[in-house]
Amino acid sequence: MKLSTTLLLALAALPALAALPALAAETAPLLAIPGKVLFESKLDTPLPAPWKAAKGKWEIVEGALSGAELPADKHGAVLRMAGTIPDFIIEYEFKFEGAKTTSLSINAVKDHMSRINITPNAVTLRRDDNDHEGPDKAVTYAVFPVKFEPGTWHKVRMEMVGDTLLGQVDDLTAWGSDPLFATPKTAPGFTCAGESIHLRNLTIREATLNPAWEDVKAKLPKPGEKIAPVAKGKGKAKAKAKSE
């Protein structure tokens, strides 16, 4: 009887043991090794300073942070955390509730630096235009076709260490490098074009370079290698997001 009980316990543990390799792979370091938590919120209560809504309407709806563009602003909704941050890992979840596009963006000391731009049909990782009217141009590292249904949650992860950026939405991953990324990183924040986007479970951590990054990088698409055609009718929303 004792042996049978032990055997039953061992069999009951098999599903959990089988799940361990998948879990380890899911949490394996990419570009960065996470360090100290700089900011953390479930986004079920209003964000405190130094967060500030620059444009649009940001409020708590059904236990999540909701962002929506206001027609009177004639600009997409923008919410940012003031100040400079070190090399970092940012993670959060989002779902579309009618919005045309949303992004996680990082600024340089002057103008924009980088972003993960998301529409219901595409995920784009890019270095932003850093001077708008000047000679500088945005650089797109990847555009993945997707189909994000309204009301479904998806996970975003952005890592920046030194001169390298890595972006991940669900299991879609891309990276790129640029000297601009090695300059001070400021004002991480969210944008929304249209109405509305819901966000939850935000964490910002300090980060250091993963010693195995070169091995990880070798298994990822090269910058520019994964650029899918933009879905018809989405160009206007994407162009608008560049200025937010």
Q: Give the per-residue pLDDT at 131.
A: 85
Answer for the pair 103, 126: CB distance below 8 angstroms, yes or no: no
Q: Give DSSP secondary structure letters for 113-165.
A: EEEEEE-SSEEEEEEPPSSTTSS---EEEEEEE----TT--EEEEEEEETTEE
Quick: pLDDT tens for 62-107: 999 999 999 999 999 999 999 999 999 999 999 999 999 999 999 9
What is the bridge-based pairing of β-strands 99-107 and 84-85? unpaired
Burial (0-12, 13-18, 19+ Cβ within 10 Å), 66? buried
Quick: pLDDT tens for 98-129: 999 999 999 999 899 999 999 999 999 999 99
Q: In the chain, what are the domain boundaries?
A: 35-241
Quick: pLDDT tens for 169-200: 999 999 999 999 999 999 999 999 999 999 99
Split at pLDDT 50, 70, 90, the class of 228 is confident
d(Cα 210, Cα 208) in Å, to the nearest integer? 6
Alpha-helical segments (H) within the chain: 2-27, 213-218, 235-241
Split at pLDDT 50, 70, 90, the class of 242 is very low
Q: Give the per-residue pLDDT at 232.
A: 59
Picking from 84, 91, 82, the residue whose alpha carbon sits closest to that of residue 158 is 91
Quick: pLDDT tens for 11-63: 344 343 333 333 333 478 999 999 999 999 999 999 999 999 999 999 999 99
Answer for the pair 69, 192: CB distance below 8 angstroms, yes or no: yes
Is the CATH code 3.40.50.300 the one for domain 35-241? no
Answer yes or no: is pLDDT of 2 > 70: no
Q: Give the per-residue pLDDT at 234.
A: 43
Instruction: Show the tokens assigned to 27.
Output: 């949490």
**Per residue in 188-211, is it b (16+ CB within 10 Å) or e — as a string?**
bbbbbbbbbbbbbbbbbbbbeebe
Q: Give the per-residue pLDDT at 15.
A: 41
Answer for the pair 159, 125: CB distance below 8 angstroms, yes or no: no
d(Cα 51, Cα 82) in Å, to the nearest integer? 6
Most distant CA pair in the chain, distance: 80
Mean pLDDT of all residues belonging to the chain: 87
State what percent of residues in the chain have pLDDT above 90: 78
Split at pLDDT 50, 70, 90, the class of 244 is low
Picking from 10, 197, 234, 185, the residue whose alpha carbon sits closest to that of residue 87 is 185
